[in-house]
Chains A and B, each alone.
Chain A
Amino acid sequence: MKLVKKSLFYVLAVAVALQFMIPLLWMILSSFKIDEVIYRDIGGIFAIIPRFSDLSLKSYTELLGLYNIFKNVGNSLIYASVTVVFGLTINSLAGYALARFKFPFKDGILIFIIALMIVPIEATILPLFLVVNEMGLINTVPGYLLPFIVNVMNIFLFRQHFLSFPGELIESGKIDGLSELGCFFRIVIPSSLNMYVTVGILTFLASWNDFLWPVMALSNSDLMPIQVALNAVFSDTYNIFTSHMMAALTIVTIPIVILYIFFQKYIVEGSMSSGIK
């Protein structure tokens, strides 16, 4: 009886796993086939189980011959990295000031930050476009990157984190002759690395996945991040081979898989504390 129950449970767990894995398996496997093979196999078990005689790198070499996908992937990696570096610095500096210093209008500024947390950012994307447009920065990289460097949620998270930062550490830094900024970079950041990695990874993922804002802010295909370029390739070239499309989707997914392999713990913990996604 117990054995029957146990095997039923396994059948259920495997059936559910297939629901989640089939699209991914099919995407990766199809990227190594040619279209005739993809559509020959499509109804059967070989759609998701490899037969090595069918597999080749043909779709990848053909795709790269038609379209240099690495250019847009590179754009996205650069944009995400710049957003992480500037975002972490600016937001954590602000959070630190709100946690540690005493200065006029401190409460007012804190309330201002908290009030901004409730503004649904994506909902105001059109007037954001108007602001950047009036600054003359549409279709430029700064115009695309600047608006999403500041993140009031992250300022608040950093403030909460720094509230419990041991003040003795900073005092000792000052005795050693460090300025406030020196203390921040030499003492505070190195001893809060966990926090920085968590917020940094989430920022990176959000920037990498971003779609709506770059559609509006960057129309030059040389500047496009990969998500926008993918959609353009998919919707503009109507007759693209399925194998080419799957190769493109697989290439775009690889950096995120790598990120998850190394940082899964941070990603899950981070999304719990900040409620992103």
Chain B
Amino acid sequence: MKKLKLSRFVQVRNTTEHYRQSNHYKKGEVAAAYGFLIPALVLATLFIVLPIILAFTYGFTDYYLLKPDAKQFTGMENFKRMLTDDVLRQSFLNTIKFVVLVVPLQLAMALGLALIVNKKFKGVGLFRTAYFSPAVLSLVVISILWTVMLNPTSGLINEMLANIGISKQPFLTSSSQAMYTIVVISAWSGCGYQMMIFLAGLKNIDNQIYEAAEIDGANGLQKFLYITIPSLKPITMFLVITTTIQAFKLIVQPMVMTGGGPDYSTMTILQYIYEYGFRHRNVGYASAITLVFTVFLIIVSIGIKRLFGEEKAA
């Protein structure tokens, strides 16, 4: 206790001292500061700022990577083309569909799991490990494993479904089922993490609140609706924000599992940029899409933070 007060005193003294000599920097300190900062600043400028500038400049050209000298300024041509690009429109709608489905599904699953393992019963640690276990698999491993398991003719899932009398499903090979399949797999693989975060939130709720509610005659459902849900609000908002932004950047699962097909039904925006800019070397058009997508994501992330208020978890 005494130590804490002392350090506070020291800190206050330091700030007033700094305030007094606000325009006098210590030479050694300035040199050290820039020495410490320069590696990070150089790398951030090269690999975060410069790409954005390049997207800006190339987005207005017809740059084809294999003929760099033939690139010409084309004005708004790329952006006009985006408006009439059917595959781009579908990729955008696919991405929105994925976000709208996966965020609530994954968070609901995570909360459900957290509620199970928040109970005190024999073997609870074992169940927590079981629910969390998909987290050890990388996205590529998950994608390959599920592609094998979902094989329409001989896969594990169809054979299991046959046991309960459900006929064979095409899953990833059907344009009407592929995106839903990816949604479920993504939620399955991601909810273990978020279960742990919800669990930490549940453990933080003061037990006395529940006891007080019991004395007032509240039942289980009422306690859940009026105590648990409101107490978890900050954590939920935090998870909604991070999961939404992450979901917009979906690419690995469709890249490995479907290649964007069948019939572009699982093509996402990021994958479309990859296909156009990297595979087909059509850098000009892909840069224009990158630019619009980046601005869109920045607006979305600022937007949902505004919408929910800047509440911090934990």
Q: Chain A: residues with CB nearer than 8 A to chain B?
A: 6, 9-10, 12-13, 16-17, 19-24, 26-27, 39, 42-43, 47, 90-91, 93-94, 96-98, 101-104, 106, 109, 113, 116, 118-131, 133, 146-150, 152, 155, 166-168, 179-181, 184, 208-209, 211-212, 216, 227-228, 230-231, 234-235, 242, 245-246, 249, 252-253, 256-257, 260, 268, 271-273, 275, 277
A-contacting residues, B192-231, CB 8 Å = 192-193, 196-197, 200
Q: For the complex formed, measure the closest distance between the CB of A135 and the CB atoms of chain B, giving whole angstroms.
A: 8
B52, A9: Cβ atoms closer than 8 Å: no
CB contacts (< 8 Å) of A152 on chain B: these are 44, 48
CB contacts (< 8 Å) of A16 on chain B: these are 113, 116, 131
Contact A209 to B159, CB < 8 A, known contacts A17-B130, A101-B30, A103-B25: no
B100 in the interface, Cβ–Cβ < 8 Å?
no
Question: In the complex, what distance in Å separates the CA atom of A116 from the CA atom of B49?
Answer: 8
A20, B133: Cβ atoms closer than 8 Å: yes
Contact A275 to B58, CB < 8 A, known contacts A116-B44, A122-B251: no
6 contacts between A and B (CB under 8 A): A93-B39, A124-B55, A126-B287, A129-B277, A150-B48, A230-B144
CB contacts (< 8 Å) of B156 on chain A: these are 22, 26, 42, 47
CB contacts (< 8 Å) of A21 on chain B: these are 130, 133
CB contacts (< 8 Å) of B54 on chain A: these are 127, 130-131
A-contacting residues, B160-192, CB 8 Å = 160, 162-163, 188, 190, 192
A-contacting residues, B98-155, CB 8 Å = 113, 116, 119, 121, 127, 130-131, 133-141, 144-149, 154
* A-B CB contacts (within 8 Å), total count: 253
B134, A24: Cβ atoms closer than 8 Å: yes
Question: In the complex, what distance in Å separates the CA atom of A123 from the CA atom of B249?
Answer: 7
B134, A102: Cβ atoms closer than 8 Å: no
B50 in the interface, Cβ–Cβ < 8 Å?
yes
Question: In the complex, what distance in Å separates the CA atom of A124 from the CA atom of B119?
Answer: 44
B136, A260: Cβ atoms closer than 8 Å: yes
Q: Specify which of B36, B52, B54, B127 lies most central, judged by the most chain A CB atoms within 10 Å of its CB.
A: B36
Q: For the complex formed, measure the closest distance between the CB of A249 and the CB atoms of chain B, giving whole angstroms.
A: 5
B242, A127: Cβ atoms closer than 8 Å: no
Contact A24 to B137, CB < 8 A, known contacts A43-B160, A149-B43: yes
CB contacts (< 8 Å) of A121 on chain B: these are 48
Q: For the complex formed, measure the closest distance between the CB of B55 and the CB atoms of chain A, giving whole angstroms.
A: 4
B264 in the interface, Cβ–Cβ < 8 Å?
no
A249, B29: Cβ atoms closer than 8 Å: no
CB contacts (< 8 Å) of A149 on chain B: these are 43
B76 in the interface, Cβ–Cβ < 8 Å?
no
Q: Specify which of A6, A166, A211 lies most central, judged by the most chain B CB atoms within 10 Å of its CB.
A: A211
Q: Chain B: residues with CB nearer than 8 A to chain A?
A: 7, 10-11, 14, 18, 25-26, 28-30, 32-37, 39-41, 43-44, 46-52, 54-55, 58, 65, 113, 116, 119, 121, 127, 130-131, 133-141, 144-149, 154, 156, 159-160, 162-163, 188, 190, 192-193, 196-197, 200, 238, 241-242, 245-246, 248-249, 251-252, 255-256, 270, 273-274, 277-278, 283, 286-287, 290, 293-294, 297-298, 301-302, 313-314
The residue of chain B having its C-beta at the shortest distance from the C-beta of A147 within the complex is B47
Question: In the complex, what distance in Å separates the CA atom of A234 from the CA atom of B29?
Answer: 54
B127's partner among A17, A90, A119, A211 (CB-CB below 8 A) is: A17
Q: For the complex formed, measure the closest distance between the CB of A190 and the CB atoms of chain B, giving whole angstroms.
A: 18
Contact A260 to B135, CB < 8 A, known contacts A166-B7, A167-B11, A273-B314: yes
A271's partner among B49, B159, B163, B197 (CB-CB below 8 A) is: B197
CB contacts (< 8 Å) of B313 on chain A: these are 272
The 10 residue pairs across chains A and B that have the minimum distance between CB atoms: A127-B51, A94-B40, A43-B159, A101-B33, A97-B36, A150-B43, A180-B32, A147-B47, A17-B130, A103-B33
